[in-house]
Amino acid sequence: MKIDVMSPVWRAWMVKDQWSSTHASVVAWAASLSQEFTYEWNYEAGEDWLAFSQGNNGLGFMSAKLPLLLCTRALAVRPWPDPLTVVEVSDLHERILTCDMDVLEKCFECKIDRTDLDPQAFSASDLWFCTF
């Protein structure tokens, strides 16, 4: 079943002024203190996403630019603060997401190569890679 993420992405974009890379870092750090997962983020390299994992299993990606978390159920069921929008996916690599390409490019403020991301069938990992 496809998941149209246009509304969640727009919602995150509409409240982006309430979010920053500092917010993303604090939210990830605080959540990882009491949970059984870790996160990685290379701020100095200019990465726009924080990646959550549990051992070798990827759990999700949280944007440092938009209050948006794409994640598996393991993270989706946990409490997350406003204004973070959570989109649950069964697998980070399953191409079940859809969204208008113009919306993605506007909200992530970058040009996305359509050969790298099919707006009618992409995964959380695809979006992470294309907007990294």
All residues at 6 or more sequence positions from 97 whose CB lies less than 8 Å from its CB, including other chains: 2, 3, 4, 5, 70, 87, 89, 121, 122, 123, 124, 126, 127
Ranges in the chain, pLDDT < 70: none
Give the range of the structural domain holding residue 121, as residue numbers without chain letter.
3-130
What pLDDT, on a 0 to 100 scale, did the predictor assign at position 34?
78
pTM to 2 decimal places: 0.95
Query: What single-letter amino acid sits at 62?
Result: M
Evaluate whether 63 touches 49 at the Cβ level (below 8 Å).
Answer: yes
Residue 3 pairs in a beta bridge with 97
What pLDDT, on a 0 to 100 scale, did the predictor assign at position 57?
95
Q: How many domains does the chain have?
A: 1
